[in-house]
Structures are given as C-alpha cells and as structure tokens.
Structure 1
Amino acid sequence: MTKQENKQQFSSKWGVILASLGMAIGAGNLWRFPRLAGQYGGTFIILWFLFLFVWSIPILLSEFSIGKKYKSGVISAFAQAAGKKYSWMGFFITICTLGITFYYSVVTAWGLSYVGLSFDLINEPQVLKGLSQGYLESYWENISTGNLKTVGLHIFCVLVAVVMLFRGIQQGLERVNRILIPTLLTLILLVAAVALSTENGPKGLSYMFAINPDLFFDSKVWIEAVTQSAWSTGAGWGLMLTIASYSREKEDVTFNILVSGIGNNIASIIAGVAILPSVFAIAGSDEQAISFLQSGNTALTFTIIPLLFAKIPYGEFFGMVFFIAFAMAAFSSLISMTELCIRTFTDLKFNRKKASIISAILCMVMGFPSAYSLDFFSNQDWVWGLGLLISGLFIVFAVHQNGVETFKSEYIDKDSSIKLPNWMYKLTMFINIPIGLFLIWWWMSQGYSNEPWFTEEGDWNVFDVYSNATIITQWGLVFLIGLLINKWLYKKFVDAN
C-alpha cells in the first residue's frame, strides 16, 4: 500500500456524514421498515427510536472511534483495539458483512428490474391495463429465481460500484454520496407527497403513528424494533469503522454518529409516509388496508407501489421515480460494503487498483448464487443478517477490553464537541450483552424451519434455508478458520503495517 493510498481521507466532516448516511440508508428503509410500521404502528416506532439510543448509537460510536484511532480496516483496527488474541473476531465481522455484500447487489438489481417495469408501464399501455397484484406477484417470482437478466444486473451493479470506488475516497465514495444522498431523499419526499395527496392517503399517516398500548407487552414488537434498528443503522457491520478509517485526525465522533443515526431513522419515517398512505389509497376500504398491512407482507413495496401509481394521473412516472430511489438506496449501502472489501485487500498491501479488481471478481462470483436462486439469497440473509448481532457483541467486547470509561474518554470523547453522559454509555455497554444474546436465542427458537436441527432421517439439516443448523454450520466454519489463522491475521494486518 503506497503512502498516498494510506493517507486517503474525506475532505470535510460532511463527506464523512454523507458516507455514513449512504451506508445506513438502504433498501431496508424502503422495504422492511414500512412493513413493520404497518404491522405495529406507533408502538413499534417508539420502541425503534428507543433502541437507536440503546443499541445502535453506542455501538456505532465505538466502531467509528476504533476506525478513527487506528486508520485501518476492520481486521487490523479490531485486533489493535481488542488485542492480538482476538483478531479472529475482526475476521468474523469482515466475513459477516461480506456475506451480506455478496447478495446486496442482488437487491439493487431487483430495484433496477422494477425501474424497467415502470418504464414498460409508461410506454406500453397494454401492460398497464393488465396490471394487477397477481401480475406483480408473477413478475416478482420471475426476476427472483433463475433469471439471467437479474444475474446480469447483479454483475453490472458490482462493476459500477467498484469503478466509482476505484478513484479513491474523495473522488469516489465522497463524490458519489454528495450526489446520491440528497437525490435519494428528494425522490422519497416526492413519492410521499404524491401518496398523501390521494383521497385516502392521510388515513395511512394516522394509522402509522397510532399507538396501541397493548403492543408494549408483546415481546415480538420489542424484538422487531431492536433488530430493525441494528440492521438499518449498520451497527456492528464494520462499515462505520471502515468509513472512519478515512476520517480526518480531529473528526467529531459523537456529532457524526448522532447525525447519521437520527438521519437514517428520519429517512425510514419518510419511506413509511410514502408507502403506508399508498396502501390506504388503493384499498377498497379502511379495513382491507389495515388487514393487508397487519399481514406483514414482505412484498409490500413491490406489490403495492406499482398499483398505487397506476391509479393516479402520471402515476407510471412517479412509480419509476420510487423504484429509482429504491435502487439508489440499495446502491448507496452497496458501495460502502464494497469499500470494506477493497479496504481489506489494501490492508494486505495490494494497491487500490488490484484490490478493486479482486473485490469485483469476488463479489460477482460469490453473489451469483443469490442472484440466481431466491432460496440461496434468503439463506444468506438469514445467516449473516443474524450474524450482525454477533458482530455487534464483538464491538462491545473490544470496548470492555479497554475498560468502558477509559474507552469513552480516550476513543470517543477526545475530539467530540458533544459528550454523552458516562453513565449512559457505560449502561448500554453492559445491557447490550444480554440484549444481543437474548436476540440470538429468541430468533433461533422461533421455529422458522420445521426441522431446525436434524432431518427426519437424523441428518444435520444444513441445507434447509431457515434452519438453525445452517446458521451454526456457517458461523462455525468462519469461527474455526478465524481461530486457526489468528496469528497470521495479526501478522499480516497489524505487524506488516
């Protein structure tokens, strides 16, 4: 790695903030959050904001400060923060996020497919005339499984991301996000305005923020709130650590994290304001709208938005705008994930050109199964999405290795204009351990698979999409490899630099 590459950094604090927002604001804001807000309303939103400050922001503060202090990628920075013996934990965080990176380009590809569908609706009246929920469900099944066009779009998304990042931080990641994030937020606001302008749209807004006190006693709502916060903000992903490794020497840790964390939640709220009123706008009755929302339909974004816009003047155009925003949201997260991959190879002293080429090939090849098979995609999302809770716990572990108060003082507060109370940070670093462990146990105990551990024949059920066996097997392999090469990891990522 050359001196020039090692000294790359953002040009200003807003470059860091926009990169952080780009990392956090993704397809989950426009896809998963509206579904959960539709199921649980204002009760979920209150708890979700609570966990922003209990789980996400404390972990993000810890990540960012580690990256800022050591100015290196996840494995190197984590090993220095936690200690030589725990380099394997940094390895797990990296592999976990790469596991998500490999299929996240597919989410971007789906968004582009729906941009294409919207274009067809504009230019081919017969397609618009035959548009129905059945048609959209068929379209979804077609693009999500065995579709070579989706594979091609996956490859295209990876190549675009790598080409944009190849030029470095200021000319690549920073410049892209300066355009991407304001444009994305503008498009979502436009869609929200259109949804609210429909006859029944405002009813969706009232429904979204209605509080049902009984739901505060429903454990599932609490679980959904903390997991949505963790996954949406990127807490524990290692992405914030990677972004911080390019920060300036006196970067304000707390200010950056508060802006990016709260900004991510605001973007989710705007997305909910766009989608929930849309459901009420097209439903035959309020009861039908509420029934659909409470069903927790995972295809809410893909089946409702096109139908909504087909019913209003120039709706096909606004439908295209929405799916462009969706694709941009997914892509903004993808480029941060790809940068983590590139940074890992530059830490191994590959120059940026070679690291970019290796990353591109790796992401294209490893993402192919998810692009071709929805079952494989769902399995990887199941395994590594849950794995992010392990990653978050490892970040908490690194903090405890330094002493919580010492870490806050020397890592976080040193250059921060805003200083959170010591008792607050200390409390979260302790309570997040049982929270994380409980979430992992709870998620695996829900019985998403009929045979979570063994098949009827007594075989280890590793190939089941949603089994616990597939989680433990894939995590176990990464743990084992990391432990076996722990000394090599420290030597290559720390001693060599």
Structure 2
Amino acid sequence: MPILIFLILVLTVRALFLPGASEGLSFLFTIDWANLAHPKIWVEALIQNAWDTGAGWGLVLCYAAYMRKNEDTTLNAIMLPTANNIISLLAAIMVFSTVFSAVPQLMEQAKTDPSVLNGLGSLGTAVENGAVFSTELMQKTVFNEGNKGITFIWMPQLFKTMVMGQFFMILFFSALAFAAFTSMIAQVEVSTRAFVDAGMGRTKAVKIICVGVFVLGVPSAIWMPVLDNQDWVWGVALMLAGLFFAISVIPYGVKKFREENLNHPGSNIKIGRYWDIIIAFLAPSQMIFLLGWFAYDSYKSAPETWLHPFSSDNIYNVGTILFQWTIAIAVLMFLNKWIVRKITEHSNKLKAVEKKD
C-alpha cells in the first residue's frame, strides 16, 4: 500500500505537467448543478465511499474481537475516510489531467493511423463516427465507462509519457493487485470468523470461503455486464447495510453506545451529543429518502421494466437489486440459524470441558 500511495503522488505530479492538464482540472472542479438533481449520482458517490472505506461490510463486528480495549475508535474512524478521500482526490487529478491530455493527441493520430483507436471502447467508436473533442464527448465515453476503463486504458497512456514508464507501470499494477488482495483478506476473515466460532477449523473455513468467493466471482471476471451489475447491486446493498447498522444502535441506546464505545478513557477525541442526532435521525432518514428517491426515479425512467429483474436494461434497475437481495437474504437467514446453533453447541462443549478441568 505505501508503494501504491507513493506512485499516485509521483503520477499526479507528472500528470499536472502534461499538455491539456488544465482543461482536465477545470472539468473536474467545475460543478454541474443539473446533475445534482439526479439521485443516481448521489447513490454512486455514497457507494464509492462505502467501497473505498469498507463501510457497510460488517467488518467492524469481526475486527472488534481483535481490537485493544482502549483502542481509539473515533480517531481511526476520522483518519480512514480522510486519508481515503485525499488519495481519491489525487487519483482524480491524475486521471482527468491524463485523459484530457491523451485524448486530443490520439484523435489527431487517428487521422493517419486509425489503429490507435483499437481498445478505446466507446471513445474509439465515437471518433470513428466523426466525433470531435469536447467535454461532452469525454463525459459520454471515457468517464461513462467507470473505473475499469480509466485504470486499464488511460493509466498506460500516462506511463507512456514517463522515463522508465514500463517499469513504473509494472510497479503500479503490481501494487494495485496487492492492495486488492490485502483488502480481500479482511472480507474473507469476516465469514471465516463466523465458521470458526461455530466450531469449524480455521484452515477448512478459509478454504470453503475462498472457493465460494472464487466460484461466485467467475461470471464477473469473464463477462463485463455481470461485473457492472454485481458492482451496482451490492454497492447499493452497502447503503442498506449502513442503514441497518445505524438503526441497530437505537434499541441499545445511542447515548449509551457513544459513551461506552466511543468516548471511553482510551479515546483522545470525544464525540458530542450531535452524534446521537446523526445516528438516531439524520443518517436513517437520509438513507431512506435516497433509496426511495432512486426507486421513484427508476420508475419514472422506465415504468414498464423498472421492476423486471430479467429485462434488457436490468443491469441497473430496481428489479434486479430486489431479486438478488431476496435470494441473498434467504440464504443468509438459513446460514444464520445453522451458525447460531453450531456456535451454541460449540460454546456448551467448551463450558463442559472447563467444568471438568
């Protein structure tokens, strides 16, 4: 991870000195107020932050077992999203500067060598059809393809402009793969811990979880529409999980939770009563409103197919979300009963052994 952060810093500085970088920065930091009236952009922003920080995954339930009693939870909760958003901003500066520098050059080269458009996706198709360079073209093509297009198509364009570019490209993508792998460790541990608590051996539990993750991930690896769909469905699910986490604190007592788990003696930063209002009222109401707004907007956009999970436009519609959530919840409810029963049996066995000793 430190190598990846270092490379992002170096690449950001390099990108800022590319021709056309100023246009990219202007596009990045110019607010399109009309877009703020669309719920999807708010949902996508929240999903992106949830993916980046691990919010909504239930990781805290697992890793709380490994934390020190006097762990400064509040400080960690502030540092993680702050550092994440700073790195994300630097990455955005790097990407937008690179794209607005590389695209005009590629379009100019395409006049004499159309082969340079190969592999550029919708941008290549648009240029072949006579499109001219504009911010609208960038929005509809490059930035509409998501992170996968930006990472694997446009980052190599930046490395082409650098001394020892191939070396840095290998280092960057190796560090990116390693960062993704280490992030998976945390997610695998959540499921593994549940099986271990149920009495299963750790090695066996890890094997089962890893095989399951691999099998479920194969369709997304070989078919891009599936990847887009799964990214969207379970990204929105993180919002719902966050809502459940906030609501679950209310019966326990928001003030009690804050005083016992956040403002304990080992915490250097004390959270005020405003946090109680945020958790009890603001966060749940915002989530419910945003999900409702998104569902209503989906209905208005496609009233005949918005609830059809198998329609031709099902990648992002509400129907595919509800259909997959229903299946997942049914499976998890079954597993939850089995795991609770196993944990109880395992706990009783341990107590019986302790009594004998």
Query: What residue in structure 2 maps to residue 452 of structure 1?
Result: 306
Question: Could you tell me which residue of structure 2 aligns to residue 227 of structure 1?
Answer: 47
Aligned equivalents of 2:272, 2:182: Cα separation in 1: 32
What is the match of residue 121 of structure 2?
A: none
Q: Does 1:433 align with 2:287?
A: no
- Distance (Å, rounded) in 2 between the aligned partners of 1:363 and 1:194: 38
The change in CA–CA distance for 1:438 and 1:329 in structure 2 (over 3 A counts) is farther
Deviation at 1:361, TM superposition (A): 1.9
SS of match in other structure, 1:254: helix
Of the candidates 416, 421, 424, which is equivalent to residue 267 of structure 2?
Answer: 416
Of 237, 254, 269, which aligns to 2:89? 269
8 Å contact from structure 1 (residues 252, 416) kept in 2: yes
Distance 1:211 1:462 in 2: 32
Distance 1:444 1:312 in 2: 46
Q: Mark the structure with the bigger radius of gyration.
A: 2
Amino acid at match of 1:297: N
- Cα distance in 2 between the residues matched to 1:359 and 1:219: 35
The answer on whether the counterparts of 1:463 and 1:470 sit within 8 Å (CA) in structure 2 is: no
Matched residues in 2 for 1:192 and 1:303: separation?
Answer: 17
Name stretches of at least 5 consecutive residues in structure 1 with no aligned partner. Answer: 1-180
Partner residue, 2:71: 251
CA distance in 1, matches of 2:252, 2:194: 24
Residue aligning to 1:360:
210
8 Å contact 1:205–1:276 — kept in the other structure? yes
| Cα pair distance change 1:335/1:487, threshold 3 Å | closer
1:478 corresponds in structure 2 to: 328
CA distance in 1 between partners of 2:44 and 2:227 (Å) = 21
2:243–2:287 CA contact under 8 A, matched in 1: yes
Residues 1:271 and 1:412: Cα distance change in structure 2 (over 3 Å) = same
Q: Percent identity?
A: 34
Q: TM-score, normalised by structure 2?
A: 0.75
> What residue in structure 2 maps to residue 291 of structure 1?
136
Give 1:188's aligned residue.
8
Q: Distance in 2 between matches of 1:476 and 1:184?
A: 38
**Considering only aligned residues, what root-mean-square deviation do their CA atoms show, in Å?**
3.1
**Which residue in the other structure is 1:204 paired with?**
24
Higher relative contact order (CA 8 A, sep 6+): 1
CA deviations on 1:170-206 (whole Å, 9 max, x unpaired) are xxxxxxxxxxx21221121122122123233344345
Paired AA for residue 256 in structure 2? T
Distance 2:333 2:214 in 1: 27
Q: 2-side partners of 1:275 and 1:259: how far apart?
A: 24
Task: Report SS of the residue matched to 2:217.
Answer: helix
Shift of 1:453: 2.4
Q: Which moved more, 1:404-413 or 1:208-217?
A: 208-217
Instruction: Answer yes or no: is the 8 Å Cα contact 2:73–2:262 preserved in 1.
Output: yes
User: Is structure 2 residue 20 aligned with structure 1 residue 237?
Assistant: no
Contact 1:405–1:426 (8 Å) recurs in 2: no
Task: Give the aligned residue type for 1:225.
Answer: A
Matches of 1:344 and 1:200 in 2, distance apart?
52
2:231 equivalent among 381, 386, 392: 381
The secondary structure found in structure 2 opposite 1:284 is helix
| SS of equivalent residue, structure 1 residue 245 | helix
Q: Secondary structure at the match of 2:306?
A: coil
- How far residue 395 of structure 1 moved from its aligned partner, in angstroms, is 0.6
Distance in 2, matches of 1:267 and 1:440, equals 28
Match among 241, 253, 260 for residue 80 of structure 2? 260
Q: 2:243 aligns with which of 393, 397, 401?
A: 393
- The answer to whether the Cα contact below 8 Å between 2:39 and 2:290 also exists between their aligned partners in 1 is no
Do 1:371 and 1:377's aligned partners in 2 also have CA atoms closer than 8 Å? yes
Select which of 162, 168, 174 maps to 1:324.
174
Contact in 2 for aligned 1:375/1:465 (Cα 8 Å): yes
Seen in structure 2, the aligned counterparts of structure 1 residues 205 and 470 have a Cα distance that, compared at 3 Å, is: closer
Structure 2 residue identity aligned to 1:327: A
Corresponding residue SS for 2:66: coil
Q: Distance in 2 between matches of 1:223 and 1:467?
A: 13
Cα offsets for 1:388-417 (capped at 9, x unmatched): 111111111210120111111122222322
TM-superposition CA deviations, 1:84-142 (whole Å, max 9, x none): xxxxxxxxxxxxxxxxxxxxxxxxxxxxxxxxxxxxxxxxxxxxxxxxxxxxxxxxxxx
Q: Find 1:443's aligned residue among 294, 306, 319.
A: 294
Alignment-mate amino acid for residue 276 of structure 1: F
Distance 1:442 1:290, change over 3 A: same
Matches within 5 A, 1:305-316: 305-316=155-166
Question: Any residues of structure 2 matched to 1:20-169 within 5 Å, and which?
Answer: none
Q: Cα offset for 1:278?
A: 0.7
In structure 2, distance between residues paired with 1:247 and 1:186: 28
Give 1:291's aligned amino acid. E
Give the whole-Å Cα distance in 1 for the aligned partners of 2:2 and 2:165.
23
Contact 1:234–1:240, Cα closer than 8 Å, also in 2: no
CA distance in 2 between counterparts of 1:243 and 1:280 reads 42
Alignment partners' CA distance in 1, 2:326 and 2:87: 36
Q: Which residue of 2 aligns with 1:303?
A: 153
SS in 1 for 2:214: helix
Q: Is the 8 A contact 1:462 1:470 kept in 2?
A: no
